[in-house]
Amino acid sequence: MHAAILSEYGVLRVAGDDARSFLHAQLTVDVEQLAPDRARHAGWCSAKGRLMASFLLIPAGTGYLLRLSRDLVAPVAKRLSMFVLRAKVRITDDSAAWPQIGLWGDGSGARLAGLGLAEPADELGVARAEGRIAVRLGGDRFLVLGVADAAADAREEDWQLQEIRAGIPTVTLATQDQLVPQMANFELLGGVDFRKGCYPGQEIVARAQYRGAVKRRLYRLRAATALIPGQDLFSDDVPGQPSGTVVNAAGGEALAVLPIAAVEAHAAVRAAQGGEALEILTLPYSR
């Protein structure tokens, strides 16, 4: 079992009488039907259908916690507040109130028990106890909020590598407003509901889904040199110009958006023109 303190993620709290309906109208998922013991991956888009942020949406008391990249906490809080208008909603930065740790590997359930938390049975199941929240992200991997120190024995980069291997992207400031949700495989993660009502960018997201307009997708890569979010990638079938973008990177691996045609044609993908070809790895879900 491994534990890592997660400092590169923050938390926004959305509370108030209208919090549920407000978020339902803003996010890419059905918040109205979200059960109290379930979390969801969710996106928040611009009017052009591009992801302004990616969240893990967690019901919490009379409101919701939005877990996101820490560098987006302030700008997203400011921009999201512009849509509150007369709704009874409060949006606050609760990052300090909800410190985060990641647990994974054999024995994680026992560690949860030691923190007074039950082990959620299903993926994205939620357990609560004494101001702490645990979310099962899949397998033996858990996010715990409300715990500042859990005898961490791993680096945050090790946790981020687990996220990459699970194919779960996190939008950061470097990739904000660049990706339609399907480019980030969000619909494959349950992060887009095509049956709910309108939300910002909904028409564009739906058109991309039903008209086959998605030409780029999220892939997992291995690189011999370090990659960084927002970095351009190049494929040999389109020489001389960038054709891909790194979304997240850790531990010699990365999630990157690449042209589907280039990957299917087995064209080499490189971090720099003329550089070493990157290895394309599998993801745990299929299209």
Q: What is the pLDDT of residues 61-89, one digit of tens each?
A: 889 999 999 999 999 999 999 999 888 99
> From edge to edge, which strands make up the β-sheet containing 90-93?
40-45, 51-60, 63-69, 9-15, 90-93
**One domain for residues 267 and 185:** yes
DSSP 195-207: TS---TTHHHHHH
**One domain for residues 35 and 90:** yes
**One domain for residues 70 and 159:** yes
**One domain for residues 98 and 198:** no
In a domain, 174, yes or no: no
How would you write 79-98 as a 3-class SS string? HHHCCCCCCCCEEEECCCCC
In a domain, 175, yes or no: no
In a domain, 158, yes or no: yes
**One domain for residues 92 and 149:** yes
**One domain for residues 126 and 260:** no
Kindly state the average pLDDT of the residues 99-116: 90
Structure-block tokens of residue 96: 């300090």
In a domain, 13, yes or no: yes
**One domain for residues 157 and 187:** no
Dihedral sign, Cα of residue 141, residue 24, residue 214, residue 229:
negative
In a domain, 173, yes or no: no
| Inter-residue contact 169 to 184 (CB < 8 Å) | yes
Q: Exposed, middle or buried: residue 178 (CB in 10 Å: 0-12, 13-18, 19+)?
A: middle
**One domain for residues 191 and 150:** no
For the chain, how many structural domains are there in total? 2
Q: What is the pLDDT of residue 220?
A: 97
Q: What is the pLDDT of residues 216-244, one digit of tens each?
A: 999 999 998 999 999 999 998 888 889 89
Structure-block tokens of residue 184: 């980030």
CA distance 39 to 57: 5
In a domain, 258, yes or no: yes
Residue 287 — very low, low, confident or very high, per pLDDT cuts 50/70/90?
Answer: low
Tokens 């916690």 -> residue? 65
Nearest alpha carbon to residue 109 among 91, 79, 88, 136: 136
In a domain, 170, yes or no: no
CATH number where 221 lies: 2.40.30.160
**One domain for residues 103 and 223:** no
CA distance 175 to 221: 17
**One domain for residues 161 and 191:** no
**One domain for residues 270 and 199:** yes
In a domain, 277, yes or no: yes
**One domain for residues 54 and 160:** yes
Question: Dihedrals φ, ψ of 73, to 5°?
Answer: -60, -55
Print the domain residue range for 154. Answer: 2-165
Residue 54 — very low, low, confident or very high, per pLDDT cuts 50/70/90?
Answer: very high
If one compares 209 and 100, the residue with the highest pLDDT of the two is 100
